[in-house]
């Protein structure tokens, strides 16, 4: 198994997503500005990857970590180049979703907000869940919700890309691209919702009028609504509550960390739960949005892992290798780790 097993379909998804958006979008004003996020994405990736690598060597007590990093890149430039390309592709894929999201607003009218609000109300025993989380609605929390999530996603990508090829790595990486390119657009088209923060502006009443936004949230919401209400296509625009890709990708991070960096699972789980609660407290999402998003992430990974593992077993049988039934307990454990 090689990285090509997940890289080829990921490239195809990215190209298809971008082409569909470019062909259908009626206004190209937001296309190039969205692309301008890529230099920041790559810079943040380089900085965070370097920090993670440096810290891992400090923990391992490697002498002269910086010299070791330089030597590693010089000795295997192909691997370093592949890592840079994969990070760039992940950024491009997210950018194509930034083109697709406002296009969906243009093509699919919102109608599901009352339904999702009522689902939340029923699930939480007659209360809207945001009313239980007002203590989280603060400027620092709003900053972490966006910037912290962004940084955690990059760090997770770096961790996964550093792992050797395996069915699990292929499943985790292709899940990332599937969430942005397939799950987000399809689920939004099925249940188009804007979120509690726009409930009143959509004409559904003042049910969320007591949900007061901090400046960080209010400024972003004002920008998004201004572009939406004018049928525009500005950079970083587009409104979508269901599914919450914020939470879908957070669940993806938890899956990835559980597999490839289990020592970090506890802090990642705490951060993931915190981000989920913030998505509700800040008014961006109904609880149902995050639950569906996380469920989609788990389902995508399970299906893709089953596919890649099955393909590997088939290739092994065709090559004449003995089945797992002949493996020793130690070999079986080792195979389970890499799968």
Peptide bond just before 243 cis, omega within 30 deg: yes
Residue whose entry in the numeric block shows the structure tokens 């970590």: 65
pLDDT of residue 89: 96
What's the rounded Cα separation, in Å, for the pair 215 and 199? Answer: 18
pLDDT digits (tens, 9 = 90+) for 113-149: 999 999 999 999 999 999 999 999 999 999 999 999 9
pLDDT of residue 8: 96
pLDDT digits (tens, 9 = 90+) for 51-91: 988 888 888 888 888 888 888 888 888 888 899 999 999 99
Q: Whats the size of the chain, residue-wise?
A: 339
pLDDT of residue 329: 46
pLDDT of residue 322: 54
Residue 148 in contact with residue 232, Cβ under 8 Å?
Answer: no
DSSP one-letter code for 325? G
Q: Which two tokens stand for residue 127?
A: 């209360």
pLDDT of residue 240: 93
pLDDT of residue 198: 95
**Residue range of the domain that includes 220:** 4-338
| Residue segments in the chain with a per-residue pLDDT below the cut of 70 | 30, 235, 321-339
H or E stretch covering 216: helix 215-229
pLDDT of residue 326: 45
How many structural domains comprise the chain?
1
Q: What angle do CA 43, 67, 158 make, to 5 degrees?
A: 35
Residue whose entry in the numeric block shows the structure tokens 């985790």: 172
Q: What angle do CA 6, 187, 126 make, to 5 degrees?
A: 130
């Amino acid at each position: 198994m090689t990285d090509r097993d997940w890289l080829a379909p990921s490239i195809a998804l990215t190209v298809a997503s971008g082409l569909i958006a470019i062909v259908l979008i009626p206004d190209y004003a937001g296309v190039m500005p969205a692309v301008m996020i890529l230099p920041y994405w790559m810079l943040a990736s380089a900085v965070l990857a370097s920090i993670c690598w440096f810290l891992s060597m400090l923990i391992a007590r490697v002498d002269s970590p910086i010299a070791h990093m330089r030597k590693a890149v010089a000795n295997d430039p192909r691997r370093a180049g592949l890592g840079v390309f994969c990070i760039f592709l992940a950024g491009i894929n997210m950018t194509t979703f930034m083109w697709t999201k406002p296009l969906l607003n243009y093509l699919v009218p919102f109608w599901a907000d009352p339904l999702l609000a009522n689902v939340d109300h029923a699930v939480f025993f007659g209360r809207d869940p945001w009313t239980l989380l007002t203590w989280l609605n603060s400027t620092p929390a709003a900053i972490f919700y966006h910037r912290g999530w962004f940084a955690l996603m990059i760090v997770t990508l770096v961790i996964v890309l550093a792992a050797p090829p395996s069915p699990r790595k292929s499943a985790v990486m292709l899940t990332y691209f599937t969430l942005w390119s397939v799950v987000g657009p399809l689920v939004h088209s099925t249940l188009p919702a804007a979120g509690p923060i726009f409930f009143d502006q959509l004409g559904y009443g003042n049910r969320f009028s007591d949900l007061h936004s901090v400046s960080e949230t209010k400024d972003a919401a004002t920008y998004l609504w201004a572009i939406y209400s004018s049928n525009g296509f500005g950079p970083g625009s587009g409104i979508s509550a269901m599914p919450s890709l914020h939470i879908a990708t957070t669940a993806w991070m938890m899956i990835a960390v559980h597999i490839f960096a289990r020592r970090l699972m506890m802090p990642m789980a705490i951060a993931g739960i915190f981000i989920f609660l913030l998505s509700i407290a800040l008014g961006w999402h109904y609880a149902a949005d995050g639950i569906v998003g996380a469920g989609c992430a788990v389902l995508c990974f399970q299906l893709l892992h089953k596919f890649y593992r099955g393909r590997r077993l088939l290739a092994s049988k065709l090559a004449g290798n003995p089945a797992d039934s002949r493996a020793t307990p130690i070999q079986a454990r080792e195979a389970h780790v890499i799968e």
